[in-house]
Amino acid sequence: MARLITLTFMPIYQYNCGDCQKRVDVFFRSVSAAASKEAICPQCRGKSLTRVMSTFSRNRSLLQRLDNVDHVHEASRLLGNDPSAFYHWAKQQGKEWDESLGTNWEELAERTLAGEDPAERIDADYTFRYHVEEKKYQLEKEANPKAFADSEYEDPYKEYFDRPVQDTSSSSAD
Ligand SMILES: [Zn+2]
């Protein structure tokens, strides 16, 4: 039997305290504790803490979430072209992704519930995949602009169009 190895990771997060107006580090015993427990200011014991996240770590955690999307699974949930399946799917995707991906799944879910049949329901899994991949590309590019600059897209027809056009109307002037 395979042995389960538990990795212990004790996260420290930065917060702004609304009570003492200080920026403080709060230590948690685990990631789940950090997610479920209310953070308390180590300076004044206040509870009005707002998590401070750098753009970098925010992007990194979004990228991780995007990487974890199982597109085959998501597509399978929409099989059968059933409006009710779409409603549940879109409602959930909307809650999870509308804000970060700029999509409107939640609105489409509500419209479906109201009896409409939005055109976006067709190929919704494909559209979802497009938005996810587009965002991943954008975040990866932002995180590592140099890598993207070095591996610039090579136009396979470039050579063809760059080829000097032979002028046959006159001979070259000497
Ligand atoms: Zn405080």
Cα of 102 from ligand 1 centre, angstroms: 34
pLDDT at 160 over 90: no
Q: Which domain holds residue 23?
A: 12-52
- The whole-angstrom separation of Cα 60 and Cα 78 is 29
For ligand 1, the distance from its centroid to the CA atom of residue 9, given in whole angstroms, is 25
92 in the same domain as 26: no
State whether 41 and 75 are in the same domain: no
Q: Do residues 48 and 72 share a domain?
A: no
Tell me what percent of the residues of the chain surpass a pLDDT of 90: 56
User: Can you name the residues that pair with 16 across neighbouring β-strands?
Assistant: 23, 50
* 129 shares a domain with 72: yes
Residue 151 lies in a domain: no
pLDDT, tens digit, 9 for 90 and up, residues 95-109: 999 999 999 999 999
Q: Are residues 119 and 76 both part of a single domain?
A: yes
Give the Å distance between the CA of 95 and the centre of ligand 1: 31
Mean pLDDT within 43-57: 88
Q: Which residues have C-beta under 5 Å from ligand 1, the single-atom ion?
A: 17, 19-20, 41, 43-44, 46
More confident position, 146 or 67: 67
Q: Are residues 141 and 94 in the same domain?
A: yes
Interval between CA 47 and ligand 1 midpoint (Å): 8
pLDDT for position 173: 47
Considering the domain architecture, whether residues 69 and 135 belong to the same structural domain is answered as yes
CA of residue 30 to ligand 1 center, whole Å: 22
- Is the CB of residue 94 less than 8 Å from the CB of residue 110? no
Answer yes or no: are the C-beta atoms of 97 and 131 closer than 8 Å. Answer: yes
Give a yes or no: residue 5 inside a domain.
Answer: no
Mean pLDDT in the chain? 84
